[in-house]
């Protein structure tokens, strides 16, 4: 699976389950993409930073 295929599949899935915040969807996709392709772990600090980003 390519990055583009992963992004497209995840985007379709998020929209189909009722998510409508496209910026948030893109952030979730970015996290998944970096986990799958770059083997980057998503930490509690990353989650806190994401929450802070969307609170502002």
Structural domain of residue 40, as residue ranges?
A: 3-55
Provide the 10 A C-beta neighbour count for residue 29: 19
Task: Identify the weakest region by mean pLDDT among 3-7, 21-25, 34-38, 52-56.
Answer: 52-56
pTM, two decimals, is 0.76
Instruction: Tell me the CA distances in angstroms from 40 to 17, 34, 55, one per residue in order.
Output: 26, 6, 24
Torsion angle (degrees, nearest 10) of CA 36, 1, 3, 21? -80
C-beta separation of 25 from 11 below 8 A:
yes
How far is Cα 46 from Cα 6, in angstroms, rounded to an integer?
Answer: 21
SS3 40: coil
* Residue 50 predicted with pLDDT over 80: yes
Number of domains in the chain: 1
What percent of the chain has pLDDT above 90? Answer: 64
């Amino acid at each position: 699976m390519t990055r583009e295929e992963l992004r497209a599949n995840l985007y379709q899935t998020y929209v189909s389950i009722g998510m409508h915040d496209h910026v948030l969807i893109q952030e979730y996709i970015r996290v998944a993409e970096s986990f799958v392709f770059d083997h980057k772990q998503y930490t509690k600090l990353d989650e806190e930073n994401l929450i802070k980003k969307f609170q502002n």
